[in-house]
Amino acid sequence: MRINRYAQEGKSDNYQHAEARGLLKAGEAAALLTKRFGTKIAAAELTVFSKEWHHAGVFSGKGGSVKGRRVYFFSPEQLEQISLNAILANRLKTKPEPDNEIVQGWYIQFFKMTDPATYKRYSKPFVGIYKGPASKKPKGFRPLSDEAFEIALKQRGKALLPGEVPKF
């Protein structure tokens, strides 16, 4: 019966107790810190500094299971201990600089095909070519030298047999 009440209200008992104690949610804490530091701070950036979180609301998870959404809480004393330097250092840890070095190579690209006799759909492998930033390279990317890349360009879109690796 408790889970039904939780599903209706969208807040756990602990969540309601935290609100009653006057704790601030991460969004409210982010607004206060943004005002204090003069720099935009997102609520998601503060989750690493939180010592308390509770479930609020439910959503469907994988396999039809029910999952709870986490809400992070902060006391005013905790907010005083959070410095702008700590937030900025955490930003650098969580967002590494993308690798913008230009790479070139090939990868196996799959396309959905339909068998005309049975109308069954299946994936067929083809030679895919990529040249661009390393941070955006496709899954299964294999780098090539300049000479091999020129040869691979001529084979772009060539159908592959299952397990076949082209020679460049």
What is the pLDDT tens value at each position of the chain, 168 positions in all?
Answer: 455 666 666 777 888 888 899 999 999 999 999 999 999 999 999 999 999 988 787 677 777 787 778 889 999 999 999 999 999 888 878 667 788 899 999 999 999 999 999 999 999 999 999 999 999 999 999 999 999 999 999 999 999 988 888 888
Q: Is the dihedral of CA 43, 49, 53, 55 positive or negative?
A: positive
Q: β-strand 24-25 against 66-74: which pairing, if any?
A: antiparallel
**What is the rounded distance in angstroms from the CA atom of residue 36 to the CA atom of residue 30?**
10
Write the burial class of residue 71 (CB in 10 Å: 0-12 exposed, 13-18 middle, 19+ buried).
buried
